[in-house]
Amino acid sequence: MRQILAAAAGLVVLAASACSAPTPPRSAVPSATPTGPATLPAPTGAHRVGTTVLYLKDASRPDPWNLDADARELKVTLWYPTEQRDGRRAAYMTPKESQLTLRGLGAAGVPDDTLSRTRTNAVADAAPTGRKLPLVVLSPGFTKPMSTLTSLAEDLASRGYVVAGIDHTYESYATTLPGGRVAECLACDSDTDPGFGTGLVAGRAADVSFVLDQLPARWDGSDRIDRSRIAMVGQSIGGAGALAIMVKDSRVRAGIDMDGTTYARIPKDGLSRPFMFLGSPQHVPGGRDTSWERDWKLLTGWKRWLVLSGAEHQSFTDGPLLSGALGLTPPSGVLPAARAAELTRSYVAAFLDRHLKGERQPLLDKPSARHPEVTFCPETC
């Protein structure tokens, strides 16, 4: 029982982490029986979705976590519009990745392959379609593989974006590399060190810049990307990385931090490109995490600060969508999984449609009666 509840803390809310400053997790309770394999919600856009995986190696820098690696290796998962209807649905995780992720969460009582049986919507290695599509970089939270943002990635691709999700090697419980090698979480041994969060986001910014450098030459469909329209979205430390890359790399025109404590300092003259905070109640003004208040004053361009009532740290990921497969029931008062996914998809897409496609988005202008969970801060918090 304790092992199962630990999985709930990791997937439904989040076990405490040095670089996310989450609210303490509430206990989940077991369901009568697991529901069987999880199925991610269908994408809401007009396009079918394809996906493929790239492996990149940055020989210009050693790996920051593996002292035996003289180059930084990255796994990049792409999602994109396709016209292909049939084909093999992409795997959510490999069985080994599922095993190591569940082990990292303390879920010893859950079958090892539970997460690998999650059903996705994207067709593996489908041919891309579309012309001059905006690019969105996705970055997950610390210890979490990129697959935990698959629902959001698939939805954005269905809406006409190319999405590049980065697995930051040795920063999650499991990343599969070429030849079947599996990199485990070496950074987990350092997460209580002084300055860990600052160093982590600096490394993520370097990873993103390298991926942007390499993507044109490494993907056959890269000619479909409009490189003048790039944004980054991240959850937890990935969200902190979104702010860090915007400070460092002007190619990223807009960014979203989903519930992540920020570490990269904004220059005194401010950051004028569009940025949005989207988070749980820990991020209200005067709340447990004060980093958004500090940075809000230095965001000098278009900006929004949105807080979702009932949200937990993992509400912006696939975590709650997977809880039934683990035989778990979220605690009362927590935003239901399907609603959390709907709100995350809607507000992230509205931001990107406005700033990468130039489309007016009234949803971002003021509170909505259809979305009463969303509070606009700091004015109405």
pLDDT tens for the chain, residues 1 to 381: 334 434 444 454 333 344 544 343 444 555 546 778 999 999 999 999 999 999 999 999 999 999 999 999 999 999 999 999 999 999 999 999 999 999 998 876 789 999 999 999 999 999 999 999 999 999 999 999 999 999 999 999 999 999 999 999 999 999 999 999 999 999 999 989 999 999 999 999 999 999 999 998 899 999 999 999 999 999 999 999 999 999 999 999 999 999 999 999 999 999 999 999 999 999 999 999 999 999 999 999 999 999 999 999 999 999 999 999 988 888 889 999 999 999 999 999 999 999 999 999 999 999 999 999 999 999 888
Reduced to 3 states (helix: H, G, I; strand: E, B; else coil), residue 332 is coil
Angle, vertex CA 229, rays to CA 223 and CA 231, nearest 5: 115
Domain 2-377 has CATH 3.40.50.300: no
- Percent composition of the chain: helix, strand, coil (DSSP 3-state, to 5): 35, 20, 45
Q: Closest by alpha carbon to 39, among 322, 340, 346?
A: 322
HSE-CB for 2 with a 13 A CA cutoff: 0
pTM of the model: 0.93
pLDDT of residue 260: 97
- What stretch of H or E contains 78? strand 72-82
pLDDT of residue 215: 92
pLDDT of residue 327: 83
Contact, 322 vs 118, CB < 8 A?
yes
pLDDT of residue 28: 54
Residues near 180 by Cβ (< 8 Å), separated by ≥ 6?
A: none
User: Cα(190)–Cα(159) distance, rounded to whole angstroms?
Assistant: 39
Beta partners for 49?
81
User: Cα(107)–Cα(84) distance, rounded to whole angstroms?
Assistant: 37
Q: Which two tokens stand for residue 113?
A: 């392959």
Q: Residue 151 phi/psi, 5° resolution?
A: -60, -45
Q: Which two tokens stand for residue 60?
A: 């210009």
pLDDT of residue 30: 55
Q: Write out the E strands in 106-253.
A: 123-124, 133-139, 162-167, 175-176, 182-183, 225-235
